[in-house]
Chains A and B, each alone.
Chain A
């Protein structure tokens, strides 16, 4: 979090701190008043938000699960792509219900569903986070350029965004993935590049109002170039909005990735992927193999729900005026 600016600067203005600096003893029982940056204040608010704490815990658990996937697989003794044709399939060759060996049952190829769900978390999380980083980076650069430079740059970027919004997201993603053959990195780039339009618009709008402020005029008067003004002076002041949007973009990217995989143009098999698993299960669950559909769906739903709740809480914390869900 090194990019977070400490807007208050040194906290040495308060009487207590001055006293400490001067070597005078602080009276016992007297509270030291400290200056706090907006981000510290936001963190305080976030810490007292029960929904935020629960969702953070859930996300942490999913992240740990994803990181430890190989360990979990080794501990259980089932590989993610290992087929258990003798014990992992029933007499008809269908999936086996949850039992002591296969905690969440098996899939239609006799693979351990639990291990595959654990491995699926790796794909979902890495696509969600990396795609969001790409779209945020693009959105910040284009938004800053359009908002600060204005003129022809603004017109061109605004039209590019219009065009990207004109072709429906999923249709465009499907077209790209079909023509260029799906792969892990292609999915990340497609999801990331197609989502940059909203952060770009938000940053642009903020910058247009901020660039008339006195401190920007002062920077210009001191001879600062456009790059310095955009990235050193303007960026820290739009970063709160970007964080809020980014935290809501992660679950959206996870859903989009799962949707592409569900349609067969996402992560290619046999990589364990939640969307792919749900797609496979959709041909089986009607015949009594409920676990095959239920558990991957729950994994996906819990993940997106946790990120969305956290995103809402982050917005409330950074912008306490309201507009959030739990006002």
Chain B
């Protein structure tokens, strides 16, 4: 186990390092040799500021020096300086993180809960009306672009039903520490938007995986020793069928933490995704760069967590 852990953590560090190289090339080489300071300055590039950026980022040094300078800053937890807003990228990110985490965790509870439940129900009653309903629903939401669903929900619940429901504020965010009730109200529609689009994949994955598992010999054994069907499904079926779902959930949550870009933009939730879109509009590259690195870190970390969980649950994984 220790050997596997060391190997896996080493691999994660390697991937993260390579990701920083890719991001570095994109942002420090992509714009062309003389344009880097210009792109980092955003729209308000005075000559004095350009000179300062060149100095801050060591842009007059060779590329390898620039990379080393940037990487050593990253390793000290410094994501850079946002010249447009005039504050460090760290403080921009720290301000945005609570909103994104609230959105992702709440949505993940809904999408995993609904996805697994609908997938299991579909699998234990295949070809029934229920199964067709869930699978068709999954296909529908799977095909639906997030912004279409989000705008549709706002239209229906916030505008069309507004005389009936005084319940759906749809723009903004209230911190859970400030007012838990409002925090919940403001997040219902965003949670649904993220969850419905994402749950489709879980319904299908759980259904397929469950159908496979329920045909295994040990399920027949469990049935033949007189176990009730519900118990067979819960104890033997679900446990085996859920491993791929756990993997997918880990990856999806990791990706979502890097910014639920569309949903945050639609609902005006000041999270990482909203911040990145604002940064696009103001050509504020340091923020995009910082969030890209952070997002990669989330994905690599969640990947690592999922793999370690796997190794704990299934000893066969540790064998190499």
Contacts from B to A (Cβ < 8 Å): 14-16, 18-19, 22-23, 26-27, 30-31, 39, 126-127, 132, 135-136, 138-140, 142-148, 151-152, 155, 159, 204, 208, 211, 255, 258-259, 261-262, 265-266, 276-277, 280-281, 283, 285, 288-289, 291-292, 295-296, 299-300, 303
Assess the A163–B26 pair: CB atoms within 8 A: no
Assess the A159–B18 pair: CB atoms within 8 A: yes
Residue of A nearest to B272 (CB): A171
Q: A171 with B276: in contact, given A255-B145, A282-B151, A326-B135 (CB under 8 Å)?
A: yes
8 A Cβ contacts from A281-320 to B? 282, 285-286, 290, 293, 297, 300-301, 304-305, 307-309, 312
Assess the A178–B285 pair: CB atoms within 8 A: yes
8 A Cβ contacts from A251-291 to B? 251, 255, 258-259, 262-265, 275, 278-279, 282, 285-286, 290
Assess the B288–A174 pair: CB atoms within 8 A: yes
Assess the B292–A259 pair: CB atoms within 8 A: no
Assess the B159–A286 pair: CB atoms within 8 A: yes
Assess the B143–A251 pair: CB atoms within 8 A: yes
Chain B residue contacts of A255, Cβ below 8 A: 145
Choice from A179, A301, A305 contacting B27 with Cβ under 8 Å: A179
- Since A258-B145, A285-B155 are in contact, a sample of 15 more A-B pairs with Cβ atoms closer than 8 Å, ordered by chain A residue number, is A159-B14, A163-B19, A167-B19, A167-B292, A168-B259, A171-B292, A171-B295, A174-B261, A255-B145, A282-B147, A285-B151, A297-B148, A297-B152, A304-B145, A323-B211
Secondary structure of the A contact surface, majority rule = helix
Q: A263 with B280: in contact, given A166-B299, A175-B292, A322-B211 (CB under 8 Å)?
A: yes
Chain B residue contacts of A297, Cβ below 8 A: 148, 151-152
4 cross-chain pairs, A with B, having the tightest CB-CB distances, nearest first: A305-B143, A304-B143, A168-B258, A308-B143
Chain A interface residue count, Cβ-Cβ cutoff 8 angstroms: 47
Alpha-carbon separation in the docked complex, A258 to B148 (Å): 10
Is A180's beta carbon under 8 Å from chain B? Answer: yes
Chain B residue contacts of A258, Cβ below 8 A: 145, 147
Assess the B126–A327 pair: CB atoms within 8 A: yes
Alpha-carbon separation in the docked complex, A307 to B152 (Å): 21
Choice from A175, A259, A279 contacting B146 with Cβ under 8 Å: A259
Residue of B nearest to A297 (CB): B148
Assess the B295–A263 pair: CB atoms within 8 A: no
Alpha-carbon separation in the docked complex, A50 to B139 (Å): 16
Chain B residue contacts of A286, Cβ below 8 A: 155, 159
Chain B residue contacts of A323, Cβ below 8 A: 208, 211
Assess the A167–B211 pair: CB atoms within 8 A: no
Residue from B255, B259, B289 with most neighbouring chain A CB atoms (10 Å): B255
Chain B residue contacts of A61, Cβ below 8 A: none
B115, chain A: closest CB distance, angstroms: 15
